[in-house]
């Protein structure tokens, strides 16, 4: 059985029966009130049926996919945002089916369906099924598909065909979309891993602007590219750019960097437990604050895991003007914390946005260097909730005490040459796109 489908152990539940729980913040143990009452539990589960990818894509953009290699629609779990009606949600695909194949000492990034175009997908959970209600392709200013192909040689991974034998062209329009919110005017905001970037798109999916780090020098894109983000974000780890996005009640956005920056180098980034959040004013069209966020030790997030580099943020959810849920995960485990975005925690424009040594990512104890790392409180550990799938990337709050979770099934793909058979057809992983609703023991708002 695929490990992502295995049920969670139910030995230890979020500390509901003890008087205090402890969270390590800025190098110190801070007492926090425990929750009392029954444990969090899954109250419904729905799965997406098989939808062949070529017909899906070609209905949106005729002729965009000539051969889907038997891949079905997937990857819509990259994020989840409540739609207008209860039980309906906006989701977004990532860049499409992709994998890795080792060739000599190199790992080549494969795109078996290079014509795939990322899409915003509206869904509804009915009984045990996830229904697709509407799909919106992401397009350039001239109406062409953005595609999910990498942007720049030397900065992004080189794209190859499904068997890693033939190079594919780069595309400066390409987006690896992840987080999604819908604004009051019906437009969408997305985050992307390549830039990393913040992308504003019209209600019909046309890219209106792409905000990228200063100095990225992305040329040739068929939409406006604005260098408005701190240049330190040029040090993002490949495939670990912006992943989470939240829309605060006042209209500001919060962007979550999936993993620590490679700052000043790869060793520092791989060993670090400190990543960053950005606050962006849609009214001022600029970044207004930045926050340092520190992961729990990897063995706490996923018992038995020892590689700190497996830690990621995939989802952030607004609870109020300064309250936020932040998901910490590996591919197998997931926990959710609550943080407050206090004014005194802002590090924007400080020495931590410069090539200072030691860098923020090199610090073992942020408090020793007076870094105002965000204080956090554990809300739920999904390791203790039976029925939650692995690789949760989309989280939404329904009502006051129900979390809706959606996994990324990677379009049924696995890494390595065995992902496709001798005829170039997908050997499906059998991991389904699954939406679950989890009832919490107390209200969050």
Q: Is the pLDDT of residue 403 over 70?
A: yes
Instruction: Give CA separation, 417 vs 164, 354, 408, 424, in Å.
Output: 9, 41, 21, 10
Residues 340 and 375 sit within 8 Å (Cβ to Cβ) = yes
- Confidence at 370, pLDDT banded by 50, 70, 90: confident
User: Rounded to the nearest 5°, which phi and psi values hold at 94?
Assistant: -90, -155
Q: Residue written as tokens 């891949």?
A: 71
In this prediction, residues 249-268 reach a mean pLDDT of: 97
Classify domain 3-439 by CATH architecture: 6 Propeller (2.120)
Q: Is the pLDDT of residue 20 over 50?
A: no
Parse the chain into domains and list their residue ranges: 3-439
In this prediction, residues 25-46 reach a mean pLDDT of: 61
Instruction: Give CA separation, 204 vs 7, 55, 143, in Å.
Output: 39, 20, 10
Task: In whole angstroms, give the CA distance from residue 317 to residue 413.
Answer: 28
CA atoms within a 13 Å half-sphere pointing along the CA-CB vector of 346: 12
Instruction: Give CA separation, 398 vs 4, 132, 144, 371, 440, in Å.
Output: 25, 19, 35, 34, 11
Instruction: Report long-range pairs for 421-424 (Cβ below 8 Å, ≥24 apart).
Output: 424/69, 424/162, 424/163
Task: In whole angstroms, give the CA distance from residue 128 to residue 124.
Answer: 11
Confidence (pLDDT) at 218: 98
Residues 405 and 391 sit within 8 Å (Cβ to Cβ) = no
Q: Is the pLDDT of residue 37 over 60?
A: no
In this prediction, residues 340-363 reach a mean pLDDT of: 95
- Confidence at 23, pLDDT banded by 50, 70, 90: very low
Q: Residue written as tokens 């230890």?
A: 12
Quote the mean pLDDT of the chain: 91
Residues 87 and 122 sit within 8 Å (Cβ to Cβ) = no
Beta strands 106-110; 159-160: pairing state = parallel
Handedness of CA 203, 204, 205, 210 (dihedral sign): negative
Residues 67 and 116 sit within 8 Å (Cβ to Cβ) = no
Confidence (pLDDT) at 289: 98
In this prediction, residues 375-401 reach a mean pLDDT of: 96
Residues 391 and 411 sit within 8 Å (Cβ to Cβ) = no
Confidence (pLDDT) at 225: 98
Task: In whole angstroms, give the CA distance from residue 42 to residue 63.
Answer: 41
Tens-digit pLDDT profile for residues 95-144: 999 999 999 999 999 999 999 999 999 999 998 999 999 999 999 999 99
Task: In whole angstroms, give the CA distance from residue 202 to residue 139.
Answer: 10
Residues 7 and 390 sit within 8 Å (Cβ to Cβ) = no
């Amino acid at each position: 059985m695929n490990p992502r489908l295995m049920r969670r152990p139910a030995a230890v539940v979020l500390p509901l029966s003890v008087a205090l729980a402890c969270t390590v913040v800025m190098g110190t143990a801070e007492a926090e009130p425990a929750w009392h009452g029954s444990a969090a539990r899954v109250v419904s589960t729905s799965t997406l049926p098989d939808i062949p990818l070529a017909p899906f894509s070609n209905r949106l953009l005729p002729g965009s996919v000539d051969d889907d290699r038997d891949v079905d629609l997937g990857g819509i779990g990259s994020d989840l945002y409540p739609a207008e009606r209860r039980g309906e949600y906006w989701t977004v695909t990532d860049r499409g089916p992709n994998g890795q194949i080792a060739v000599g000492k190199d790992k080549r990034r494969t795109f078996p369906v290079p014509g795939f175009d990322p899409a915003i997908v509206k869904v509804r959970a009915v009984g045990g099924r996830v229904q697709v209600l509407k799909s919106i392709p992401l397009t350039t200013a001239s109406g062409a598909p953005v595609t999910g192909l990498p942007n720049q040689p030397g900065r992004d991974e080189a794209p190859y065909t499904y068997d890693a034998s033939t190079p594919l062209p780069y595309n400066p329009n390409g987006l690896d979309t992840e987080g999604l919110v819908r604004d009051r005017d019906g437009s969408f905001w997305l985050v992307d891993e390549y830039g990393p970037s913040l992308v504003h798109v019209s209600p019909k999916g046309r890219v209106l602007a792409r905000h990228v780090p200063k100095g990225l020098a992305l040329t040739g894109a068929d939409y406006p590219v604005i260098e408005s983000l701190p240049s330190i974000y040029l040090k993002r780890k490949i495939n670990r750019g912006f992943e989470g996005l939240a829309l605060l009640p006042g209209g500001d956005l919060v962007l979550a960097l999936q993993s620590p920056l490679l700052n000043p180098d790869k060793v520092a980034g791989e060993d670090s437990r400190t990543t960053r959040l950005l606050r962006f004013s849609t009214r001022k069209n600029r970044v207004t604050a930045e926050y340092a966020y520190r992961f729990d030790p990897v063995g706490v997030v996923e018992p038995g895991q020892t590689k700190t580099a497996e830690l990621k943020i995939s989802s952030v959810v607004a609870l109020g003007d300064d309250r936020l849920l932040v998901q910490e995960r590996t591919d197998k485990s997931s926990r959710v914390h609550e943080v407050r975005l206090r004014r005194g925690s802002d590090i924007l424009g400080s020495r931590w946005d410069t090539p200072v040594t030691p860098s923020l990512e090199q610090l073992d104890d942020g408090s020793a260097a007076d870094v105002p790392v965000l204080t956090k409180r554990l809300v739920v550990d999904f390791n203790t909730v039976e029925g939650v799938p692995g690789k949760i990337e989309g989280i939404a709050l329904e009502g006051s005490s129900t979390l809706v979770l959606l996994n990324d099934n990677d379009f049924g793909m696995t890494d390595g040459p065995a992902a496709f058979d001798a005829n170039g057809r997908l050997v499906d992983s059998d991991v389904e796109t699954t939406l679950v609703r989890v009832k919490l023991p107390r209200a969050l708002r």
